[in-house]
Amino acid sequence: MRGECPPKASAARSRSSATQNHPLTVHGFSARQVSATLPDPLDQEGSMRHWHALMAVVAVAACADQPSTGPERFAASFSAVGSEGAPPIVFNTQMRSELEVPTSTSESKGHAQIMILADGTIESTVIINNKGDESVRFGHIHHLNPGQPTGPVIWWLSNPVGTDLNLTDQHLEFRQQGIFVTNAHFTSHEAALAELLRDPASFYVNFHSDAFPGGFARGFLP
């Protein structure tokens, strides 16, 4: 049975139902786990919950090209962060090689979900289909330099910070809190987070490999 994309929410809501109210949940992994190979689909004991997670990614990807409602949908976001009991703010993006600068010809691609909790914590889930056989080093959230196609690392989405992981499995998952690092754009996590909520399109998720040290796949936050 074919699934349907969720209906568009009204402009009064800060995010659509596909991203705000139904964040991607990947079961079976601890919050600090860096990477894992997804199980063989013939593994009867653990396959169902993991493949359901992949189907959730496919469902989000199928709806990713729907037009956004414009910057006004983030008007409520500023007051939501820091408010006890506020729902998380969720961004989903498809990571593709054709968005990379410098140019990437990798066949690997991925899906990233960035969830901002009420206390300002960033929880990230990144799933990579490594069909290009990349040796994956690490991943980040970057912020564009004004008028430029690239920018510095703001948060690390892999752990330990600064470590070249060299992961080569075809299915990779990274799930952890974003780790703020010193950069030329922001003096603190809080300052960077305020700008992310104000102008999310100036931030992008980027994963790097040995073959493409500048990044093999990226996706801009919507």
What is the b/e burial string over 170-195, where b = at least 16 CB atoms within 10 angstroms of the residue's CB?
ebbbbbbbbbbeeeebbeebeebbbe
Angstrom CA distances, 17 to 6, 11, 61, 63, 112, stand at 7, 12, 14, 11, 17
Least confident stretch, 46-60, 106-120, 140-154:
46-60
Q: Tell me, what's the pLDDT at 76?
A: 41
Q: What is the pLDDT of residue 106?
A: 98
Residue 203 · residue 116 · CB < 8 Å: no
Task: Answer whether residue 2 is part of any domain.
Answer: no
Question: Is the residue at 7 inside a domain?
Answer: no
Residue 181: inside a domain, yes or no? yes
Would you say residue 193 lies in a domain? yes
The pLDDT value recorded for residue 198 is 97
pLDDT at 113: 98
Helix or strand or coil: residue 104?
Answer: coil
Q: Is 85 left (phi over 0), alpha (psi -120 to 50) or beta?
A: left
Q: Residue 95: name the closest of 50, 128, 56 by CA.
A: 128
Q: Is residue 4 part of a domain?
A: no
Of residues 144 and 39, more confidently modeled: 144
* pLDDT of 109: 98
- Lookup result for tokens 């075809």: 170
Residue 13 in this model has a pLDDT that exceeds 60: no
Neighbours of 20 (CB within 10 A): 17
Q: Domain for residue 6, yes or no?
A: no
Whether residue 126 is contained in a domain is answered as yes
Q: Count CB neighbours of 206 within 10 A.
A: 26
Q: Which domain holds residue 196?
A: 17-220
Q: Is residue 53 part of a domain?
A: yes
Token pair recorded at residue 112: 């990233």
Pair 144, 202: CB distance under 8 Å: yes
d(CA 221, CA 211): 24
> What sections of the chain are H helices per DSSP?
47-62, 77-80, 189-198
Report the C-alpha gap between 2 and 145 in whole angstroms: 41
Per-residue pLDDT tens over the stretch 39-86: 333 333 443 333 333 333 333 333 334 433 333 334 344 445 656 678
pLDDT tens digit string along 181-211?
A: 999 999 999 999 999 999 999 999 999 999 9
Domain count, the chain: 1
